[in-house]
Amino acid sequence: MLALAFSMAAPSENESVTVLIRKGQAALDAGDFASAANDFERARQVAPANLEVDRGLLLSYLQENRLDDAEKVGRSAIAQFPQDSQLLHWLGLVYFKKGRNPEAFDILRRSEKIENSKADIHFDTALVLLSDNRYPEAADELEKAIQLDSKAPLPHVLLGRAYQNTNRSLQAVEQFQTALRLEPELPLGHYHLGFAYASLGRNREAVAEYKKELVRSPNDASVLYQLGHCLLAEGEWKAAVAHLQKSTEIDPQNYDALYDLGKALLSLGEAESAVPVFRRAIALKSSDPSAHYQLARALEKSGEKELAQQEFETFAVLKKAQPVTGGMATGPIH
C-alpha cells in the first residue's frame, strides 16, 4: 500500500503545513476529494516545494477527476522531484485517464525504474498496455505484479485475460481459478473462467461456470449468450434455445446470439422458426457468409429449395470476398 510519507517531511517546515497535510490526508481517506484538494492547495501556498504537499495535491486532483489540474501539478512537481516514483506513478495515471497512453506508459516506466518492487506500478503499467491491446507485454507486467503481491485477485483476472488474448488458455484458466480462490464473489470471475474453458473446448466445465455466473447476474445478456453458445456446442439444444432467446430479448442487437439461436432452432429440427432468426441476424451483419450458409440450410430443410440456392450463392460470393489469413484453416482462431 502506498501512503504519504510523513517521515520524509523536512523538519524546517512550519506546523501549519503539517496540519494541512494531515487534514488533506484525512479528507482523502474520507473520500472528500474537494476538501483534500483545498487543504493541499493551501499547504502548497505556504510550502511550494514540499514533496508531500505535491503528492497529496496530485492525488486529490486525480481522484476528483480534475485531470488538467492534476497534470499541471504533476509536471511541476516532477520538475522538482524527478526521482520520486510515486509522483511519476500518479502522473502516469493522469495521462492514462486522459487517454494519452504513450505518455502514460513512458512515465510509468520511469517510475518502475526507480521503484521496481512496487506491485502497483507494474499493475498500472499493465492496465495501460491492456488498453492498447498489447497483451504479451501486459502479461509480463502482471506477472511481475503478482510475484510481488500474489494475494490480490484483480491482477490474476487481468493476467488471465492477457493470457486468453494471447492464445494461452490453459494458463488463463489457472489465473481465473486463482482469482476465484482469493475472491469467490469476484464479479464476472466465473464468466471469465467459463470463457477460458470454452476456448479449450471444455464446454461442460464452461457451462458450469456460466451457470454460477448467472446466479449473480441472471439478466446479463453476455452471460446468457455464452451459456447458450456452449450448450449449443454440447448438443443441449432446448436449453440453448431458452438462454439464447432470453439473451436476444435483452440485447436484440447481438448478432452472435441471434446466429446461435437460429442454429439451435435448426438443430432442434425447427427449420421454419430458424429462418426468421437468421434473417434478423443477417439484417444486423449482412456480410457474414456463415449466416447465409445457415439460412440456406434452414431454407433447404423447410423445402424452400430455390430460396436456399439463392442463399448458397450469396454465401459463395461473400466467401470469395473474404480475406484469407494463415496457412491452414484452423477454425475460430485466425
Partner 1 sequence: MARLRSSKGGNFLGLLVAACLTGTAFCQNLPLQSPTHPVPSSRTSIKPSSSKEQSTPSSASFVDVAHAAGIDFHLTCGGAEKRYIMESMCGGIAVLDYDNDGWMDIFLVNGSTLEDLQTKKCHPSRLYHNNHDGTFTDVTAKSGLTHCGWGFGVAVGDYDNDGWEDLYINYLDGGVLYHNNHDGTFTDVTAKAGVNNAGRWGTSAAFGDYDNDGYLDLYIANYVDLALKHLPEFGQGPFCQYRSIPVSCGPRGLKGGRDRLYHNNGDGTFTDVSEKLNIDPDSYYGLGVLWLDYDLDGCPDLYVANDSSPSLLYHGDCKGGFTEVGVQAGVAYSADGREQAGMGVDSADYDNDGWPDIIKANFSDDTNNLYHNDHNGEFTDLAGAADFGPVSIPFLGFGLKFLDFDNDGWKDIFVANGHVNPQVDHHSFGVTYAERLLLFHNLRNGKFEEIGMKSGLAITRRYVARGAATADFFNDGREDLLVSVLDGPPLLLRNKTATPGHWLRIKTVGTRSNRDGFGARVEVKAGGLTQMAEVRANSSFESASDPRLHFGLGAATRVDSITIHWPSGKVETLGPQSVDQELVLQEGSGASSNPGPKLPEKALKRP
Site for partner 1 in 101-130 (CB under 8 A): 119-120, 123-124, 127, 130
178 binds partner 1 (CB under 8 A): no
309 vs 299: CA distance, rounded Å = 9
Cell numbers given for 105: 506508459
Start-to-end CA distance of the chain, whole Å, equals 41
Give the one residue of 44, 144, 168, 190 binding partner 1; rule: CB under 8 A: 168
- Binders of partner 1 in range 28-57 (CB under 8 A): 28-29, 55-56
| Residue that has been written with the C-alpha cell 431458452 in this structure | 242
260 is a contact residue toward partner 1 (CB under 8 A):
yes
Residue from 18, 267, 273, 310 in contact with partner 1 (CB under 8 A) = 267
Backbone CA torsion sign across 301, 306, 309, 314 = negative
Closest contact distance (angstroms) between CB of 165 and partner 1 is 5
Candidates 10-18, 41-49, 69-77, 289-297; binding stretch for partner 1 (CB under 8 A): 289-297
In angstroms, the CA 82 to CA 287 distance is 53
186 touching partner 1, by CB under 8 A? yes
Distance, CA of 227 to CA of 247 (rounded, Å): 10
The pattern of x and - marking residues 291 through 320 that bind partner 1 according to CB under 8 A reads -xxx--xx-xx----------x--xx--x-
Q: Does 148 bind partner 1 (CB under 8 A)?
A: no
If you write DSSP's letter for every residue of 293-325 in order, what string do you get? HHHHHHHHHTT-HHHHHHHHHHHHHHHHHSPP-
Q: Which of 60, 114, 63 is nearest to 86 (CA)?
A: 114
Residue 253 interacting with partner 1 (CB under 8 A): no
How far apart CA 293 and CA 221 sit, in angstroms, is: 25
The residue among 47 and 206 lying less far from partner 1, judged by its C-beta, is: 206
Enumerate residues 189-248 that contact partner 1 by CB under 8 A.
192, 195, 198-203, 206, 220, 222, 229, 232-235, 237
